[in-house]
Structure 1
Amino acid sequence: MATGAPFLTFAQCEPHEARPWLLQAERKGRAPGGEGIETIMARGQCFMLGLNDEPVAAYVLGVQGGEVFILAAAGRADIDLTAAIDQVVTFQADGFDSVAFFTIRPGLKKKTAALGYAQDGAVMRKRLK
């Protein structure tokens, strides 16, 4: 039997559900003196990303003016999670001007540039309008 394309889902979740996933992001890419996950989760809405009905990642979104800001994201799967999270967040950001996030990771900057994000100081931004 042939396998189909991965089926992505996302759903809002409670901070305690997202916390174990987001602690991975804190360990990997927190800027020195940057906010901790607890503070970040309190500033936004938490979501879980699922792949074929299995949770594989969590992310936190905030809104700043006409922009959706990815405050934190982390997960593990056999697919490109950067592209998957971009896909669902771009869908969620329908009607907004842009999607943005802050990162100190050079590889993530390069990877998201291929998805349409452009570096704006320390922020990567993808214009939707």
Structure 2
Amino acid sequence: MDRHQASPAVTVREVGAEVARPLLARVDTFDTTGGVDTVASMTAIGRCFVIAHDGRDVGAYVLQRQGNECFVLAAQGGAEFDLTAFLSVVVEAHAQGLRSIAFQTRRPGLIRKAKRYGYYIAGRAPEGVVMRKDLQ
């Protein structure tokens, strides 16, 4: 079978903060907290995961349970597939049994894209918005 026709092998693994931080380095550029939260602080308090595509690390994300909600503290990556679509499914699996998923962003394109996956603007962040998807 031609390699281009084969399905890519995409995996997710939980990692320590030191492994996730380099893959999340650009997240600080899109800060929505006025400098309060940084990649270093978010990876220190959340659960960190790395996404690999055909054995190559292509992204990372950090989750934290906040009450009955799964909050995506940070996410970043670059892959040959739609990471937003992929993460919408993966994070929903992480959040099974919880009321909702949320994240903050100031990126207009991500806001538009997230709305296609069932998210809505639920509030304002210091420098952006809070996006939420109700699960129950």
Whether TM exceeds 0.5 here: the answer is: yes
- Specify every segment of 5 or more residues in structure 1 that has no aligned partner in the other structure, as ranges: none
TM-score when normalising by structure 1: 0.91
4+ residue segments displaced more than 3 Å:
4-7
What does residue range 1-129 of structure 1 map to in structure 2 within 5 Å?
Answer: 1-2=1-2, 3-27=5-29, 29-31=30-32, 32-121=34-123, 122-129=129-136
- Which deviations, in whole Å up to 9, do the C-alpha atoms of 1:77-97 show, x marking residues without a partner? 011111111111111111111
Q: What is the CA–CA distance in structure 1 between the aligned matches of 2:115 and 2:43, rounded to whole Å?
A: 26
CA-based RMSD: 1.3
Q: What is the CA–CA distance in structure 1 between the aligned matches of 2:72 and 2:40, rounded to whole Å?
A: 15
- Specify every segment of 5 or more residues in structure 2 that has no aligned partner in the other structure, as ranges: 124-128
Q: What is the CA–CA distance in structure 1 between the aligned matches of 2:11 and 2:94, rounded to whole Å?
A: 12
SS of aligned partner of 2:106: coil
- Which deviations, in whole Å up to 9, do the C-alpha atoms of 1:72-127 show, x marking residues without a partner? 00011011111111111111111111110000111110000001111101210011
Q: How far is 1:65 from its partner?
A: 0.7
Structure of greater Rg: 2
Verify the 8 A CA contact 1:41 1:60 in the aligned structure 2.
yes
- Structure 1, 68-77 or 82-91: larger mean CA deviation: 82-91
| Percent of residue pairs bearing the same amino acid type | 40
Q: What is the CA–CA distance in structure 2 between the aligned matches of 1:20 and 1:84, rounded to whole Å?
A: 20
SS of aligned partner of 2:70: strand
Q: How far is 1:71 from its partner?
A: 0.1
TM-score when normalising by structure 2: 0.87
SS of aligned partner of 1:88: helix
Q: What is the CA–CA distance in structure 2 between the aligned matches of 1:57 and 1:24, rounded to whole Å?
A: 11
- Structure 1, 114-123 or 51-60: larger mean CA deviation: 51-60
- Structure 1, 108-117 or 34-43: larger mean CA deviation: 34-43
Q: What is the CA–CA distance in structure 2 between the aligned matches of 1:11 and 1:92, rounded to whole Å?
A: 12
Q: How far is 1:63 from its partner?
A: 0.5
Q: How far is 1:33 from its partner?
A: 2.9
Q: How far is 1:9 from its partner?
A: 1.8
- Structure 1, 92-101 or 48-57: larger mean CA deviation: 48-57
SS of aligned partner of 1:96: coil
